[in-house]
Amino acid sequence: MGIVWIASYPKSGNTWARFLLYALMFGPPERSIDVPKRIPDLHRPLPFDPPASGPLYAKTHFALTDRHPKLAQTERAVHIVRNPRDVLLSGLNYRRLAGADEQAMPAAAYAKTFIARGGDPQWLEQGFGTWADHARSWASTDRFPVHTVRYEDLKTDTPRELKAIAEFLSIETDGDRIAKAAKAASFDAMRALEVREKAAPSATAKTDRLFVGDRAATKKGVYFINAGKTGQTLDPVAPGLDALFDTTFGARDRDMLDRFGYAPE
């Protein structure tokens, strides 16, 4: 059975992409856990339903190296890339969701560490690499076909980008199905599902849902499905962070920033 990876650096739209593909191929999910049952997560092993025929779609955050699991079975990949500024802020939100408050992890300290190391230190330890190394590994490979999508373009025109993904994956579809899938996997629809599931009696069982976090976090306004903002600034976290980002990322990772249109002007 061949594998099609949905590959991204953490907090770059992987969950959204899987919801879109699920809605396109199977219809709107009734539960969030339906998505990883069809499109499993390499980093969160749960029972899943293997396809009767065709490829297995699966999520990965790993950088593409010789150590990546199941390379021999890989057919192709959809690679999602996002502005590292927005990745940083989404990573901070995720840490808050996981329980690290300002006292345990000051926002400014997290941002400075992310900038200095090129990514969240936990992600580096898990084998995901820096933002730039991860992007470079998937966008530049000749091991198998890769379709790279910018998160910003996916948000600007979801139907157009989803149609391009479907064509790359040879998924038969039409304009009506594309539009319905984009609506079913919109941020509003996913956020509503998250709120509903976390308010349910079974919300304590992590195997019952895809979304990390609990009802207490949602009451504080911290969600797994965050706002999905693009082109954000870092200075509201702490003055001078945007300049620090520009000089550090700009000097170290200019090739990837230029390639995807994220370089400072």
Which pLDDT tens digit goes with each residue over 170-210? 998 888 999 999 999 887 787 777 777 767 655 545 556 55
pLDDT at 41 over 80: yes
Bridge partners (DSSP) of residue 57 are 4
Q: Give the pLDDT score at 73.
A: 92
Residue 108: burial class (beta carbons within 10 Å; 0-12, 13-18, 19+): middle
How many whole angstroms separate alpha carbon 13 and alpha carbon 158?
Answer: 12
pLDDT at 20 over 60: yes
Q: Give the pLDDT score at 180.
A: 93
| Bridge pairing between strands 74-81 and 146-150 | parallel
Average pLDDT (8-37) is: 91
How many whole angstroms separate alpha carbon 3 and alpha carbon 42?
Answer: 12
Q: Give the pLDDT score at 93.
A: 84
* pLDDT > 90: percent of the chain: 62
CATH of 3-260, one of 3.50.50.60, 3.40.50.300, 3.10.28.10, 2.60.40.1080: 3.40.50.300
Q: Give the pLDDT score at 259.
A: 95
pLDDT tens per residue, range 203-247 = 545 556 555 555 555 545 555 556 667 788 999 999 999 999 999
Quote the pTM value.
Answer: 0.88
pLDDT band at residue 136 using 50, 70 and 90 as cut-offs: very high
User: Highest mean pLDDT range out of 36-40, 158-162, 213-217?
Assistant: 158-162
Which runs of consecutive H residues, i.e. helices, occur in the chain? 14-26, 34-38, 84-97, 107-117, 121-125, 131-139, 151-156, 158-168, 175-184, 187-198, 215-219, 241-252, 254-260
Which structure tokens are listed for 32?
A: 């969030």
With beta carbons less than 8 A apart as the criterion, state whether 24 and 12 touch: no
Average pLDDT (35-42) is: 91
Region label for 56, one of left (φ > 0), alpha (ψ between -120 and 50) or beta (otherwise):
beta
Cα 27-10-156 angle, rounded to 5 deg: 55
The structural domains of the chain, with segments of one domain joined by +, span 3-260
With beta carbons less than 8 A apart as the criterion, state whether 253 and 131 touch: yes
